[in-house]
Structure 1
Amino acid sequence: MYGAWQELGKPADLLIEPAHPLIIEGRDARLLDAFLAHAGLDEHIYAETANRARRHGAAVDEELVASGVLTEERLAAAIARTLDLPFARIEPGITILRNGRGEWQSGQRHLKGCGLGFDARLFISPALDDLAGTARRIAALGPRRTALCVATRGDIARARADFTQQERADRARLSLAADRNHLSAREVMTAFQAMVATLIATTVVLAWALLPWFWNAVHVLCSLTAMVLTTFRLAVLSETPPIEEEPSRPSPPDLPDPLDEIDGLPVYSVLVALHREADMAPSIVEAMAALDWPRSKLEVFFVCEASDPETVHAVERAIAGEPNFSVIATPRSDPLTKPKALNFTLPLARGEFLVLYDAEDRPAPRQLRAAFETFRSAAPDLACVQAPLTIRNARAGWFETLFALEYDVLFKATLPWLAAHNLPIPLGGTSNHFRREALVDVGGWDSHNVAEDADLGIRLARAGCRTGVIDAPTSETATGRWRDWRNQRTRWIKGWMQTWLVHMRNPGRLVRDLGWRNLLSFQLVFGGMVASSLLHVVFGIHLVAQALAYAAGQQTSLVFGLLAFLDVSNIILAYAAFIGLASRVTPRSEHRLLRRLWSLWFYWLMVSFAGMRAALQLLHKPHHWEKTPHGPTAARPLPDAGHHLSTS
């Protein structure tokens, strides 16, 4: 049997690319009639589905399953009976065979494997578009056709995923550290960076002890840094127009969608990351089902941990009956991070475009269309677009309000400003839309970086790719508990520290990759994120010391007083810039939230605490991922907010 099997040639020779015919004649018509009879399918329903498949650029069999006309099993069984082949499920543990060039013999519609009984089989999922041609090629095999059987496309995909699991797990665990170690955060610091850090720390300690003016010099440096960061915010403010309040209303029914004129949309892959979020499964599945994209051209992977069976089973129950929705259970291995799970899933995604969501996300239904329209109208070097994140529970409490205003400033002002000036963008943790090829080319996500999103934005820029923004939003929930907020903010700042250290390992190479303009932006954005999380401590200590000295009736030096004045000025300017930005990007209906900005000083003080905690974690547990829990919500997807903003 095995010798005869080797003579079958390429399994793909039995299959064809879908041609989407609407007029079927001759033997094709007779076989189609037989298929319809075996499937119990009405001819008019088939014709409607074939027309829809042609518009979507999908195969008819894909459209039949995606639209719910037939299940995969019923479709495959009917095709098998039509071609006089057995219909079989692929047994667990099957070994995929290689061809003469060492390539795995498996694709979207075929799998060549050897089962536990060492019997070689070729599982195929023929397209309906050329049943007669497929039948002729099968007949030409003669006795060797006994090695053939029909399987569902889903079964073929699952068998391929199971067989490649260990390989994908190993590569996901190492990710960039395997072949691009200079870009991976697996090593916290290089030997040279550690030496420089030690020298700086030693110098600071000695100077602090021996030089009376050293504290004042450090203070002046911190003040100058704060001024630069505030100047950056003022520059963003000067180019950020006030948000226009428009009532949500559906588009006029006679307004054509420009994408409807395209003869076939590409496949879009959606990755949804969940961990210990079983109660979120029904709502996130509902949100994904509401995405406005042809289901035959959409695949959704719910990425879970194998060590979290409760979430895995909850998602499996929620996606029952949803075509092209599947669960990927990531094997447990270090590091236990979200980017490792995404890297484990990435090789399974076949979409030309890919987007990432979290369990609590509720994207606007037309967000995929807005992203695709932006990609379609831009140059090929546009590799990613970021959708804005909004907080839907902003009125729930103090934490939620400040968090929501912070998100508004970042996603509605800062990132659009960076995109408009063609500067590197630190991506948000979700709602990033990628050209999949560009994402693979830069190595996917760094499994060892706990701010993998921000790091990926810089790696895309270093590869010569651009990142843009769109304005179709995704809503999220903000945590209202101090402990959860602290852990989340610690992880973010620690990840920004990791990212800065990684890309500053070779400053000369970084300049060559980015250019001086983008390098300065990188220092300002990433260095500024870390610095701003710590500066309030410096200013706070000095102002408290000044107040205590004044209360005790002590004489203070002129320099001490000038520094205190500088601190107050810096703080006031920083508050004014942030409040100005928040006022610009907050809709009038939500202006009541701005009343809580009087306590911004305390919020930023807590950010400083998280920054110090992040620095300590960077030393003793750099890859530790502190999960932020999110409760279930019944919020519906957001209404659409237009299409694209800046992509330059």
Structure 2
Amino acid sequence: MSLVYETPAADRPEASVPADAPLSASVEYSFLAGTQLAPAALAHACRLAARWGVQPHEVLIATGHLTEEAYVRALATSAGVAFLPCLPEGSAAVPGKASLRQCLTTGILQEAGPAGRLLLGFTCLRPFAMRALIARLAPLPVALVPPRELRRATAECFASSLAQGAVSALTSRRPLLSAYRPAGAWLVWALVLGAVALVVGVLTAPLATVYAMSIGLAFVFVPVIVFRLLAAFALARPRPPEARKDAVREADRELPTYTILAPLYREAHMLRPLLHALSRLDWPAAKLDVKLILEAADTETITAAQALRLPANVELVVVPDTAPRTKPKALNFALPLARGDHLVVYDAEDRPEPDQLRRAYQAFRSGPPNLATVQARLNIYNPEANWLTRQFTVEYSALFDGLLPLLDAMNLPIPLGGTSNHFRVEALKWLQAWDPYNVTEDADLGVRLSRSGYRCAVIGSTTYEEAPVRLGGWVRQRTRWLKGFIQTWLVHMRAPRTLLRELGLRGFLAFQIMIGGTILSALAHPWFYGLLAMELAGGRLLALPQTVLGLPFWTVSLFSLVAGYATAMGLGALALRQRGLDRLLWQVPLMPLYWLLISIAAYRAVWQFVVAPFKWEKTDHGSRAKARASQ
């Protein structure tokens, strides 16, 4: 049901028997007579306000029966004070030494210049209470401003400090956890010495070196194999039907304000699909705080957004054009402006299931006090586009339906997905939010949460995303992901003993498997094929017992290769079946070809990490929406 644009169909005033608003409300809101508001609409708003736990005028504004500007204009006229529909740049100032939080909480600014009128921009008070407040302020000149406009002006007043904090909060307060300088001196020396030893070994004893490396890598992959096996067993285990504690519906009036952060860059064509997807969320519209985060340099998307008639609970946040130009920096800029106690991050192409906010909130309510994050599952809504998107679907199903729920069940660090992360805002701010220099800020944040003693849970609600349909776009996206994993591994391995102490042995090993193992397996995978080809070409493959190292080498290497394939394919097949995607099972045997593409992206990630560590390669989405927009 739509709660952003309109009320539920069954609750429309015109769909029910006309009813009058309570007498007190009719008198209190009589100043709205000039707005052509139907009496039935006010009566309906009063009923819905009681259910949602908000004021009637907040319902009228949130459900589109009355614009914010029309309400504040009528209120200002009835109270005999000035009304300012917009605040030109530089026309508003911070009163005294008020902080950003104080300005946002009170909804008060001061007009710049000699007049110095107090600018009031809030709608939390009922009309009688608002008039009483204005009367008490009578010695001071007052003007009323639409709340959304006042919040925009507040962000403008604090733009410099917001931009600085978005970049430097983590690097200045917790520099050892920032990817700005990802590698410690000892780690650099270890990598250099390891590379030198490898070169010397290849030059002096090539066959023995290759054998030793392969056996060493094989033993590194054994924990990965075990982990996949555990996830597959968990998926195969019969589970009770959908009788979950997180499915309990909370009363609307008990729900808090929930903030949605949605960063967009060069995605003007995705605005309407995104707003439509958000309109389906089952949450009181008056308690939604949606921030569309746009880049100042992206004039096309800004212009397109300003041309839309945005719902009252949707605001534009424009991020100054400063380095690094990354998604986490944009999120950091918008975070202090969030009005909710909880927030979620969605990408432009996301289609979350309508129940997701409720299920995430219930998970917070029923979870332990240190539960700071809830990760929704991700899957693909365009799996049939081509072979690449089908493989992407297999991969996502195995990860978000298999591996991440296992990490949750075992209370291990979870590398968060790039979207549909739900947070307690207080905990997120305490952690200094996202690392603007890490191009997989989500995975890094998941590790930092665990290091600080917080937990992350995985819920059953799914967000559907668009998989890249072109190989070039897929390679760029995967390069960024793997480069971010390299950054994350180096940052947290800067002080391995500290990491071990904070995560514990199990958490430390899980970090090595999920982050380090992902990088290493992608880099090593082609070499197994290369060694196999070399042995076949040299005629040594069938003479294994005649060599000293041949038999143990091939025993261990073939085991890791076969077991790795078997567990990955088994997990992928089980995850597909659980999602009802049996039609994609024929794609499972083709997974090794997909992994070779991942290896190409991995070597590209290593190179890019050296030459452009903070470069953010944007993933293009919405090919169908773009085509419709161009028609």
Distance change (3 Å), C-alpha of 1:258 and 1:418? closer
- Is the partner of 1:387 in helix, strand or coil? strand
Establish whether residue 84 from structure 1 lines up as the match of residue 77 from structure 2. Answer: no
- Is the partner of 1:469 in helix, strand or coil? strand
The one of 194, 197, 214 aligned to 1:200: 194
Distance change (3 Å), C-alpha of 1:632 and 1:607? closer
The residue aligned with 2:17 is: none
Distance change (3 Å), C-alpha of 1:58 and 1:393? same
> How far did 1:617 drift?
1.3
- Is the partner of 1:239 in helix, strand or coil? helix
- Contact 1:97–1:112 under 8 Å retained in 2: yes
The one of 462, 466, 473 aligned to 2:455: 466
Distance change (3 Å), C-alpha of 1:430 and 1:137? closer
1:492 corresponds to which letter in structure 2? W
The residue aligned with 1:214 is: 209
The one of 366, 369, 379 aligned to 1:377: 366
The residue aligned with 2:408 is: 419
Distance in structure 2 (CA, Å) of the matches to 1:192 and 1:469: 36
The residue aligned with 1:400 is: 389
> How far did 1:64 drift?
1.7
- Contact 2:214–2:557 under 8 Å retained in 1: no
- Contact 2:22–2:43 under 8 Å retained in 1: no
The one of 218, 221, 225 aligned to 1:223: 218
The two structures, once aligned, show a CA RMSD in angstroms of 2.7
- Contact 1:58–1:264 under 8 Å retained in 2: no
Q: Which moved more, 1:545-554 or 1:277-286?
A: 545-554
Distance change (3 Å), C-alpha of 1:338 and 1:127? closer
> How far did 1:562 drift?
4.3
Q: Which moved more, 1:396-405 or 1:557-566?
A: 557-566
Distance in structure 2 (CA, Å) of the matches to 1:33 and 1:476: 44
Distance in structure 2 (CA, Å) of the matches to 1:398 and 1:243: 31
Establish whether residue 283 from structure 1 lines up as the match of residue 280 from structure 2. Answer: no
Q: Which moved more, 1:469-478 or 1:586-595?
A: 586-595
The residue aligned with 2:175 is: 181
Establish whether residue 35 from structure 1 lines up as the match of residue 13 from structure 2. Answer: no
Query: Given the two structures, how large is their TM-score scaled by the length of structure 2?
Result: 0.89
- Is the partner of 1:450 in helix, strand or coil? coil
1:435-455 CA-to-partner distances (Å, cap 9, x unmatched) read 111111111110000110100
Moved over 4 A (4+): 22-25, 100-105, 126-130, 242-246, 551-556
Establish whether residue 168 from structure 1 lines up as the match of residue 175 from structure 2. Answer: no
**Structure 2: 5+ residue runs without aligned partners?**
1-20, 627-631
User: What is the identity percentage for the equivalent residue pairs of Structure 1 and Structure 2?
Assistant: 36
> How far did 1:224 drift?
0.9
The residue aligned with 2:13 is: none
Alignment of 1:118-129 (within 5 A): 118-125=114-121, 127=123, 129=125
Distance change (3 Å), C-alpha of 1:100 and 1:316? closer
Q: Which moved more, 1:267-276 or 1:509-518?
A: 509-518
2:225 corresponds to which letter in structure 1? T
Distance in structure 2 (CA, Å) of the matches to 1:507 and 1:269: 36
The one of 584, 587, 591 aligned to 2:582: 591
1:494-539 CA-to-partner distances (Å, cap 9, x unmatched) read 1111001101111222123222221121112111111111221221
- Is the partner of 1:471 in helix, strand or coil? strand
- Contact 1:543–1:564 under 8 Å retained in 2: no
- Contact 1:418–1:425 under 8 Å retained in 2: yes
Q: Which moved more, 1:597-606 or 1:558-567?
A: 558-567
- Contact 1:274–1:358 under 8 Å retained in 2: yes
Establish whether residue 540 from structure 1 lines up as the match of residue 529 from structure 2. Answer: yes
The residue aligned with 1:73 is: 69
Distance in structure 1 (CA, Å) of the matches to 2:527 and 2:506: 29
The residue aligned with 1:646 is: none
> How far did 1:457 drift?
0.4
Alignment of 1:78-117 (within 5 A): 78-89=74-85, 90-99=87-96, 106-115=103-112, 117=113
Distance in structure 2 (CA, Å) of the matches to 1:595 and 1:189: 42
1:91 corresponds to which letter in structure 2? P
The residue aligned with 1:531 is: 520
Distance in structure 2 (CA, Å) of the matches to 1:100 and 1:565: 71
Distance in structure 2 (CA, Å) of the matches to 1:317 and 1:565: 65
- Is the partner of 2:229 in helix, strand or coil? helix
> How far did 1:541 drift?
1.8
Distance in structure 1 (CA, Å) of the matches to 2:332 and 2:541: 60
> How far did 1:176 drift?
1.3
Establish whether residue 495 from structure 1 lines up as the match of residue 484 from structure 2. Answer: yes
Distance change (3 Å), C-alpha of 1:137 and 1:488? closer
- Contact 1:240–1:413 under 8 Å retained in 2: yes
Distance change (3 Å), C-alpha of 1:59 and 1:136? closer
- Is the partner of 2:249 in helix, strand or coil? helix
- Is the partner of 2:408 in helix, strand or coil? helix
- Contact 1:386–1:433 under 8 Å retained in 2: yes
The residue aligned with 1:266 is: 256
> How far did 1:199 drift?
2.4
Distance in structure 2 (CA, Å) of the matches to 1:126 and 1:401: 49
Aligned residues: 599
Distance in structure 2 (CA, Å) of the matches to 1:126 and 1:434: 25
Distance change (3 Å), C-alpha of 1:633 and 1:387? farther
Distance in structure 2 (CA, Å) of the matches to 1:498 and 1:105: 36
Establish whether residue 440 from structure 1 lines up as the match of residue 433 from structure 2. Answer: no
Q: Which moved more, 1:274-283 or 1:117-126?
A: 117-126
Distance in structure 2 (CA, Å) of the matches to 1:274 and 1:498: 24
The residue aligned with 2:301 is: 311
The residue aligned with 2:558 is: 568
Q: Which moved more, 1:562-571 or 1:371-380?
A: 562-571
Alignment of 1:551-566 (within 5 A): 557-560=547-550, 562-566=552-556
> How far did 1:137 drift?
4.1
Distance change (3 Å), C-alpha of 1:518 and 1:24? farther
Establish whether residue 54 from structure 1 lines up as the match of residue 45 from structure 2. Answer: no
Distance in structure 1 (CA, Å) of the matches to 2:183 and 2:505: 24
> How far did 1:554 drift?
9.8
> How far did 1:114 drift?
3.5
2:593 corresponds to which letter in structure 1? F
Distance in structure 2 (CA, Å) of the matches to 1:47 and 1:570: 69
- Contact 2:29–2:127 under 8 Å retained in 1: no
Distance change (3 Å), C-alpha of 1:188 and 1:139? closer
> How far did 1:127 drift?
4.4
- Is the partner of 1:611 in helix, strand or coil? helix
Establish whether residue 622 from structure 1 lines up as the match of residue 619 from structure 2. Answer: no
1:218 corresponds to which letter in structure 2? M
1:306 corresponds to which letter in structure 2? A
Q: Which moved more, 1:438-447 or 1:184-193?
A: 184-193
Q: Which moved more, 1:533-542 or 1:422-431?
A: 533-542
Distance change (3 Å), C-alpha of 1:480 and 1:563? farther
1:45 corresponds to which letter in structure 2? A
- Contact 2:111–2:119 under 8 Å retained in 1: no
Distance in structure 1 (CA, Å) of the matches to 2:330 and 2:29: 45
1:536-577 CA-to-partner distances (Å, cap 9, x unmatched) read 122122111011112999997352354234333322211111
The one of 233, 236, 240 aligned to 1:238: 233
Distance in structure 1 (CA, Å) of the matches to 2:506 and 2:58: 48
1:284 corresponds to which letter in structure 2? L
1:217-259 CA-to-partner distances (Å, cap 9, x unmatched) read 212101111222112211221222368999x9xx9xxxxx843
- Contact 1:408–1:586 under 8 Å retained in 2: yes
> How far did 1:75 drift?
0.3
1:58 corresponds to which letter in structure 2? V
1:280 corresponds to which letter in structure 2? M
The residue aligned with 2:420 is: 431
1:404 corresponds to which letter in structure 2? T
Distance change (3 Å), C-alpha of 1:544 and 1:56? same
Distance in structure 2 (CA, Å) of the matches to 1:67 and 1:182: 47
1:35-78 CA-to-partner distances (Å, cap 9, x unmatched) read 23344434443233123123212233322210112111110011
- Contact 1:427–1:456 under 8 Å retained in 2: yes
Distance in structure 2 (CA, Å) of the matches to 1:118 and 1:514: 57
Distance in structure 2 (CA, Å) of the matches to 1:45 and 1:486: 53
- Contact 2:104–2:337 under 8 Å retained in 1: no
- Is the partner of 1:594 in helix, strand or coil? helix
> How far did 1:130 drift?
4.5
